[in-house]
Amino acid sequence: MSEMVELPMMAELLALLFFTPILASFPIAIAWGMHPRPEWARKLPVLSVAGLFVSLCVALYILFNVGELSPEAEPIRYTIQWIPEFNINFVFIFDYLSKLMGALTAVIAFLIGVYGLEYMRDDYRLGWYWFFFNLFTASMLLVVYSDNLLMLLIGWEGLGIASWGLIGHWFRDDDELSYVGILKRKVAGLNMFWSPSTGGWRAISTIRVGDMPMFFAIGALFALTGTLNISEIPWAGLEEKIGVAGVVILLVAFLMGPFTKSAQLPFSEWLMTAMTGPTTVSALLHSATMVAAGTYVFMRLSWYIQPWELHLEGYEYVYILVLFLGLVSSLYAALVATSSLERKVLLAASTMSSLGLMFASAAASYWVGKFAVLVAFWYLITHAFAKASLFLVAGHLIHETHDRFLGGDTEVARKLKWAFVATVIATIFLSGIPPFTAYWIKSGMDGVMHHLEHEFGLLPLALLVTISAIYSGFLGKFLSMNFFKGKKVHLHLHGGGIMSAAYLAMVSMLLVILAVILTSPEEPFSEFVEEGLMASSFAVGMIVLVAYAFGFFKPQIKSPLGQFFGDRMYMMFLNDYIVPKIGWAIAKVVDYGNRLIDFTCHQAIPRMFEICSYGVRFIQNGRLERYLQIVVGFVMLIVVVAVAAGWIA
Amino acid sequence: MSAEVLVISLLTPLIVTFILPAFRPKAATWISAVSFLIPMVVTLGLLLTTKESIVVPVMDLPSPVGEFYLLADPISNAFGFTICLVSAMVALYSLPYMKHRFEEMLHDGEIKSIEWEFRKYWFLYNLYAVAMLWLVYAGNFILLYIFLEISLLASFLLIYMYGYGNRQWVAVLYFVWTHIAGVLALLGILIIGFENGTAAFNAVKAVGFTAWLLIFLGMLVKLPGLGPHIWLPWAHAEAPTPVSALLSPLTVGLAGYVLLRVYMIDSSFIEQYRDIIIAYAIISSIYAGFSVFKQKDYKRLLAYSTVSQMGYVLIALCLGSYGLLGVVIQYISHAFGKSILFMTAGAIIASFHGLRDINKMSGMHEYIPTIANAALLGFMTLSGILTIGMFGEFYILAGLTKIYGFNLAVILAVVFVFILSGLYSFYTMKVIYYGKPAGYERPKFSRLLDAPLYVVAFFSVAFIFPPLATALLSGLKVALGIGGVMP
């Protein structure tokens, strides 16, 4: 078995990987809490970033040195005792997915950490920021490398709490720049703007709704199989044990976690208002890594369930659900993104759209096989680098223009040329224009969806092409509205060197991936190239190019439909109106219930005792006369009863 | 050897109780705290080193009482550790808090001397905590009942003398309700005693229906379940905060402990009426969870959250042996979380001149960041995020599958209970600590108002990692006799 592989110093390395970032953020967290605050506190973030760098080194070491980097390689597992009596241990797994994802997380976290050194320099809450930023990185790495579901859940909860903490970072709600939506705007009596503290609350409240069913599924898997290691759970035997309905309930409950975390319909709203957090947070958590963790977990499950080998009914239903939920969410989000006027909200919607594609593509593995998971995974990687770059650029633009809405003409492109260059590369490489990075992967995706013709006709493929076209259209719009045709903006240029360096490094990763795809003979790159060289893929690429050009040259079209899309099809009524209304109505009923019980037990019953006592005291007044009356009364009563009963003839 | 150490360590706080009034407030605080830290270290040591139970005979009494003895198995140690930790930390916290309270009362002319009140306070406080500690080591139902009543009396007096608002009325209310609970339980215990000829844990063979029902109803009042729960918000809100911080985390949960002990002897009652009890528990928990949202008083809010959390205990009790594990862990996690939270409420009361109204709080993180962060850790413990609460939920969910399989209604209900806890937790955080700052001054306060909270929080987090998690869970596995299904 694979466990036999000798892993020298692994425990120490893992400790470094997870604990260094957290420990490195303690100095700033503690110093910031001191009152009065020491002067040197503002220098401590460097230490936190150094902690991230250590993680990066370890993650890269694991990528290149632990086992072979190939989709076919046997996974290597490493176990540290936790609660062995229950067969629950810290089981780390190093396979194709986890090694790449770990390195991706560490690279992006480190680069954004560097960017944050400048971006967050003058912030009022650095201790909080760096603690949660580093806690997030450690949690994400834990999710990535865990094979054990309970251990994964620790990381998963860490993601949730870090996301909440960072979205609500500017808790004072006093800066217009940190809001989402147009201040004071109302639709049908509902506020259409959200403060950071509201954004945090919406995030955690949505995520809890998904996490608890997921937790149930984990508990149930443990009770049913006695193991929690994804790679060991007898997935095939599950259906025999609990039936088709059981499998569907179990897996849907489990996937509620990924669905909410990855903001699929109808849980999408929190991601849009998550943009109230600092841009670094949006870049790291809410586009590149955390939201992708949901799709990653689904890929990891599929990798080991291997539904393409099983052909079981229960799994089929679940995979159909994921496929179409992903596609529909993706379409919804793409439409919303076309009409978004805020830089970050546009990118958030586009992130959601990409996540939908990842889900759909990974779900297609039921019919297509492992290749579909690889396509989804490589799309995740490309998307992460591209979207993180775009977010960092957006952050830089917001920093320089003090405006979170799309805007900027050629002056911006001239004065912030690195931001401009990074945007051009990131948008073109992400939209799927041949022959750039995402084109090859999207071609793979076209192929995967085409495979589904037998089951679902051409519907999935048609949806994918539509989404790709819309997607590239709004990327063109993003470029155009920020650097060419947007409104004139006032620039406050100051510094920005570190920030530019960070996003240029980030965007250059796309070139590296392109080079790998084109040169590597290995799986799955050779398939990507093969798919990309087909005429049909090229045709799709051309459609995407046309859409991009259209978005670029005609970035804004006024129409009521646009307003509808821009208002996210009024999905916020679910979060801000329907659910709270129901909740508050129940709370009201319950409150009345409490008052009633309180009144009964603490007013009515004591009052009754009082009345009884008064009655007793009235009778027992101590006069002989009264007692005689009572005796006579009783005698008469007895006589009456006796006569009535016929005892006295 | 370990038996002697345990007995000495348990005796320490008991002896200290009676000498404590002789000391000045500051010295008494530290002596009290240390007297609980000693048994805390010992119980932790026992948890880490042994899975065997230790039995210390005390005396043999005629039927129906039977043998009095001390029983220290991993369950008792887990409860005992929790009680010691929380009691020690709350003792430290009491010094600045009660000083504030006594100054306030002196100002209102309700007391004459702060030092004199402190002497009374320390005696009652220690008596209260030590009675709970001994309760979980009692090996006889009668002995257990005696400690239950001592803790009730001590806490009643503390509320009666130092509570807020209409405190005498509230104290009597508390006394009457818990006395109903006590009498019902005593009746049940006596029936056990007469039926078995003894009330010692190790000699009782069976618990009849009537006895079970009486104890169950009594503990339902104390726990409390929906209906009788109405005493709890009064008592917990109006008690002086250190007493709330023992009442809510430690005392009410002990009802769960009593039920657990009875269950371990004879589980017939719960098994027979499982469906009704779990339905009641779920409704109770959801009902209380929704009540939280409507509260305007921080301490009342926390009190309703206690009712909701105690619903977990009752749910767990219905879920077989995994559920029993859930009972123990849920007790620990709730004790950690709620003691932190009550102390945060108290810190706000002490630093903002009796501020309790949530409507007047907003963005409090601006003024008291350390308290706000502690409250976050407290609410994380309640909702099972990155803390020991996670294991509580895990075993409840595993037990749910074992007992109910894929019964969708029960699954959805229990999952909803858990979701609701998370929702009210973070809703409260948002309303109180975040948002536009309410416009107060940043107060200066004693380190003892915030440092103890972090000690409790540390253990709450540490308990999900080895070696604590390993020791606790494997010990409980042995004590609860969870069989060898696992490799």
Question: Going residue by residue through chain B (487 aa), what tens digit of pLDDT does each one get?
Answer: 689 999 999 999 999 999 999 999 999 999 999 999 999 999 999 999 988 889 999 999 988 899 999 999 999 999 999 999 999 999 999 999 999 999 999 999 999 999 999 999 999 999 999 999 999 999 999 999 999 999 999 999 999 999 998 999 999 999 999 999 999 999 999 999 999 999 999 999 999 999 999 999 999 999 989 999 999 999 999 999 999 999 999 999 999 999 999 999 999 999 999 999 999 999 999 999 999 999 999 999 999 999 999 999 999 999 999 999 999 999 999 999 999 999 999 999 999 999 999 999 999 999 999 999 999 999 999 999 999 999 999 999 999 999 999 999 999 999 999 999 999 999 999 999 999 999 999 998 899 999 999 999 999 999 999 899 999 999 999 888 876 444 3
CB of A154 within 8 Å of a chain B CB? The answer is: yes
Do A565 and A593 belong to one domain? Answer: no
Do A486 and A565 belong to one domain? Answer: yes
Q: B189 near B215, Cβ under 8 Å? A: yes
Number of domains in chain A: 2
Q: Which of B388, B429, B446 to mutate to test the interface with A (most CBs of A within 10 A)?
A: B429
Across chain A, mean pLDDT equals 92
**Which pairs with CB-CB distance under 8 Å and at least 24 residues apart come from A555-561?**
A555/A476, A555/A477, A555/A480, A555/A481, A555/A485, A555/A486, A556/A477, A556/A481, A556/A485
Q: What is the pLDDT of residues A479-528, one digit of tens each?
A: 999 999 888 888 888 888 899 999 999 999 999 999 999 998 888 899 99
Q: Using an 8 Å CB-CB cutoff, list chain B residues near A242.
A: 405-406
Q: A263 near A271, Cβ under 8 Å? A: yes
Task: Identify whether A386 is part of a domain.
Answer: yes
Do A501 and A594 belong to one domain? Answer: no
List all residues of chain A from 270 to 329 with a beta carbon under 8 Å from chain B.
Answer: none
Do A614 and A504 belong to one domain? Answer: no
- C-alpha atoms less than 13 angstroms from C-alpha of A465 in its C-beta half-sphere: 17
pLDDT at B45: 94
Task: Identify whether A422 is part of a domain.
Answer: yes
Helix (H) or strand (E) holding B71: strand B67-72
Q: Using an 8 Å CB-CB cutoff, list chain B residues near A195.
A: 435
What gap in Å lies between CA A365 and CA A367, rounded to an integer?
A: 5
pLDDT at A573: 92
Q: Do A212 and B466 touch (CB under 8 A)?
A: no
Looking at the partner chain, which of A157, A220, A594 has a beta carbon nearest the beta carbon of B397? A220
What gap in Å lies between CA A255 and CA A233, rounded to an integer?
A: 16
Q: Using an 8 Å CB-CB cutoff, list chain A residues near B397.
A: 215-216, 218-220
Q: Is the pLDDT of residue A649 over 80?
A: no
| Local confidence band at A310 (pLDDT 50, 70, 90 cut-offs) | confident
Q: Using an 8 Å CB-CB cutoff, list chain B residues near A226.
A: 485-487
Q: Do A220 and B408 touch (CB under 8 A)?
A: no
What's the whole-number mean pLDDT along residues A40-66?
A: 94
Do A22 and A107 belong to one domain? Answer: yes
Q: For the purposes of burial, counting CB atoms within 10 Å of the CB of B101, is it exposed (0-12), middle (13-18) or buried (19 or more)?
A: buried
Residue ranges of E strands in B183-295: none
Residue ranges of E strands in B345-442: none
| pLDDT over 90 percentage in chain A | 81
What gap in Å lies between CA A185 and CA A198, rounded to an integer?
A: 16
Would you say the C-alpha torsion B132, B133, B137, B142 has a positive or negative sign?
Answer: negative
From the CA of B108, how many Å to the nearest CA of chain A? 28
Q: Do A208 and B442 touch (CB under 8 A)?
A: no
CB of A590 within 8 Å of a chain B CB? The answer is: yes
Do A566 and A602 belong to one domain? Answer: no
Do A524 and A624 belong to one domain? Answer: no
List all residues of chain B from 124 to 183 with a beta carbon under 8 Å from chain A.
Answer: 173
CB of A198 within 8 Å of a chain B CB? The answer is: yes
Q: Which two tokens stand for residue A26?
A: 């303690």
Residue B434 per-residue DSSP state: S
List all residues of chain B from 262 to 291 with a beta carbon under 8 Å from chain A.
Answer: 287, 290-291
Q: Is the pLDDT of residue A237 over 70?
A: yes
pLDDT at A2: 46
CB of A79 within 8 Å of a chain B CB? The answer is: no
Q: Among residues B43, B54, B33, which one has the least CA distance to residue B80? A: B43
SS in 3 state form for B312-348?
Answer: HHHHHHCCHHHHHHHHHHHHHHHHHHHHHHHHHHHHH
Q: A343 near A482, Cβ under 8 Å? A: yes
- C-alpha atoms less than 13 angstroms from C-alpha of B244 in its C-beta half-sphere: 33
List all residues of chain A from 133 to 152 with a beta carbon under 8 Å from chain B.
Answer: 150
Select from A542, A570, A598 the last residue of a domain. Answer: A570
Task: Identify whether A458 is part of a domain.
Answer: yes
Looking at the partner chain, which of A198, A205, A590 has a beta carbon nearest the beta carbon of B290? A590
Q: Which of B166, B172, B232, B293 to mutate to test the interface with A (most CBs of A within 10 A)?
A: B293
What gap in Å lies between CA A516 and CA B435, rounded to an integer?
A: 48
Burial code (b: 16+ CB inside 10 Å, e: under 16) for A257-272 equals bbbbbbbbbebbbbbb
pLDDT at B486: 42
β-strand partners of A92: A78, A146
Domain spans in chain B, listed from the N-terminal domain onward: 2-479
Q: Do A216 and B400 touch (CB under 8 A)?
A: yes
Q: Which amino acid, one-letter code, is at A493?
A: L
pLDDT at A492: 84
Do A563 and A593 belong to one domain? Answer: no
What's the whole-number mean pLDDT along residues A441-455?
A: 93
Say which residue the tokens 């309410």 belong to.
Answer: B438
Q: Which amino acid, one-letter code, is at A341?
A: L
Backbone angles phi, psi at A76, to 5 degrees: -105, 130
Do A298 and A232 belong to one domain? Answer: yes
Residue B234: closest C-alpha in chain A: A598
Q: Among residues A232, A214, A215, which one has the least CA distance to residue B487? A: A232
What gap in Å lies between CA B316 and CA B312, rounded to an integer?
A: 6
Helix (H) or strand (E) holding A76: strand A76-83
pLDDT at B485: 44
Range of the domain at A232: 2-570
pLDDT at B1: 65
What gap in Å lies between CA B52 and CA B46, rounded to an integer?
A: 9
CB of B481 within 8 Å of a chain A CB? The answer is: no
List all residues of chain B from 188 to 227 with a beta carbon under 8 Å from chain A.
Answer: 227
What gap in Å lies between CA B58 and CA A82, rounded to an integer?
A: 38
Using alpha carbons, list the distances in angstroms from residue A246 to A225, A230, A251. Answer: 14, 18, 8
Do A71 and A178 belong to one domain? Answer: yes
What gap in Å lies between CA A105 and CA A296, rounded to an integer?
A: 12
Q: Do B290 and A84 touch (CB under 8 A)?
A: no
A190-194 and B67-72 beta bridge pairing: unpaired
3-state SS, residue A432: coil
Do A333 and A213 belong to one domain? Answer: yes
What's the whole-number mean pLDDT along residues A541-552?
A: 95
Q: Do A591 and B400 touch (CB under 8 A)?
A: no
What gap in Å lies between CA A67 and CA A2, rounded to an integer?
A: 10
Task: Identify whether A577 is part of a domain.
Answer: no
Select from A570, A604, A635 the last residue of a domain. Answer: A570
Do A357 and A292 belong to one domain? Answer: yes
Task: Identify whether A576 is part of a domain.
Answer: no
Question: Which ranges in A402-534 belong to alpha helices (H)?
Answer: 410-415, 417-431, 437-451, 453-456, 459-483, 497-519, 525-532
From the CA of A183, how many Å to the nearest CA of chain B? 15
Task: Identify whether A259 is part of a domain.
Answer: yes
